[in-house]
Amino acid sequence: MLTVSDLFELKKAEKMIAAGKISGKGVEDLKKKGMIRSERQYMKGIDKGTAFKLKGTGSKIYRTGEADATGPISFMPSKGVFGSSPGQIQMPKGSARAARKTQAELGASYTPTGLYKREMPLYRRHEADEIKMGLGREKREANLAPIQFKKKGKHLATHMSPEVLSKEKKLVDYTSRAYGTGRGLRRMRQKTGEYDFIKGMSKRQMRKMEDRAAKHTDEQTVKASDLRPKLRKGMTDKERYKALEDYEREHDRIQKNIPYVAKLS
């Protein structure tokens, strides 16, 4: 059993590895001496923490064919007139070839099947953080306002907060340097620019972005609901048709503008 002193040294070594302050040879030496956890132990610890987060949010993990095409994805718990549904994380059922192809199209190299499967605990934790962060925002702002990340007008990802990416990066910084696991995920985020976007961003700045997203979503939602077709008495059928067409066009424009967008460079 690890003593307090052992835990301190373990955490210290993990932080130094994550920061890139220990060489690859140094990491291997630490492994041989048993001074850092094996990949299996570390990933098991991540999954244990993920299970704890999911239990706290009343969410579950499912393996679906849909996730083979989209990659891992999460859905918030919902309450409605006809009952409530728990939050859920959908994970790939197979090798997720289609999802990995999409990753490659974003600019990252194609992640091999074996490495992708080894990275699943990182993906599960990311989605669990999305749900937990979303619930926290609902309590704080009473508005679920996801943030869309776009690059050159192309939609790349949607996150509840930049903090989800920050938490993921801390894990990936360590696992990719200690075990090689996380390299596929790191390559993808580096190519999209998501990791660069959050670089140096404080928690306060992240909260401000969440607040801007909530305010923007509120304003656009109200604008969409208040919009009415400009109809008046005595209009010809042609004028009425054009007024309805203009209304639909403007309504669609507002709807598309509802999600708050973070532009990546």
Sketch the domain layout of the chain as residue ranges: 1-36
| Residue 231 main-chain phi, psi, to 5 deg | -105, 150
Per-residue model confidence (pLDDT) at position 93: 86
**120-160 per-position pLDDT tens digit:** 999 999 999 999 998 888 777 666 788 999 888 888 888 99
Residue 174 CB neighbour total at 10 angstroms: 20
What is the pTM assigned to this prediction?
0.85
Q: Is the pLDDT of residue 108 over 80?
A: no
**215-253 per-position pLDDT tens digit:** 888 888 888 888 888 888 888 989 888 989 988 988 888
Sign of the C-alpha dihedral, residues 173, 177, 178, 184?
A: positive
Distance separating alpha carbons of residues 42 and 63, to the nearest angstrom: 22
Distance separating alpha carbons of residues 215 and 221, to the nearest angstrom: 10
Distance separating alpha carbons of residues 224 and 191, to the nearest angstrom: 35
Q: Among 173-177, 184-188, 249-253, 260-264, which range has the highest average pLDDT?
A: 173-177
Residue 66 CB neighbour total at 10 angstroms: 12
AA identity, residue 240:
R
Of 106 and 10, the one with more pLDDT? 10
Per-residue model confidence (pLDDT) at position 3: 63
